[in-house]
Structure 1
């Protein structure tokens, strides 16, 4: 697997600044803007905050499958991780 270059997690949603997602060290990772409703903004912020956890979970699943005798290619899953690492456009 490639090396990640994104800000390490965990990331958290800050409700004091609605829609702000920050890293554990306080760095601002994302600032969601209110496009349609407050609910959408909060849901988007929570999804972004979960990104490092989702990335790590997918990495673990691929490793488990790679280490087993399963015959799965996981092409889309590998592509998603490569995209997160900036290896594909």
Structure 2
């Protein structure tokens, strides 16, 4: 990706506050991405922090996957979802492609 609207990765899980159980998500370029507050269910705070920290890597993987699928499967910009579903070699691959496209749209705020 050439132009980021978000703080570029990598993001990492930082320190945990011993008193409040709050966890920092940090980046080299920016010392503070977010603060993950403990929830009502034990054990989810750290898992949530790890998921947030993985977001830039997951986003980049989705972008790479969609670009590779477009190129190697010959997906054209004017194809609708039905056409893509019919043309790809398997329904599982089509569903993975749609899921990656939807995740990119959710991350960028653009339509899928």
Fold shared by both chains (TM-score > 0.5): yes
**Does the alignment pair 1:54 with 2:58?**
yes
CA displacement, residues 52-83 of structure 1 (integer Å, 9 cap, x when unaligned): 00001111111111111263463332122012
* Unaligned ranges ≥5, structure 2: 75-86, 89-93
Question: Structure 1 segments of 4 or more deviating over 4 A?
Answer: none
Match of 1:85 in 2: 108
CA displacement, residues 1-57 of structure 1 (integer Å, 9 cap, x when unaligned): 9x54111100010124451101112431111111122x2111110000000000011
- Give TM-score, length-normalised by structure 1: 0.79
The equivalences for 1:17-28 within 5 A come to 17=17, 18-28=22-32
Q: How many residues align?
A: 86
* Larger radius of gyration between Structure 1 and Structure 2: 2
**Does the alignment pair 1:12 with 2:12?**
yes
Higher relative contact order (CA 8 A, sep 6+): 1
Which is further off, 67-76 or 55-64? 67-76
SS in 2 for 1:27: coil
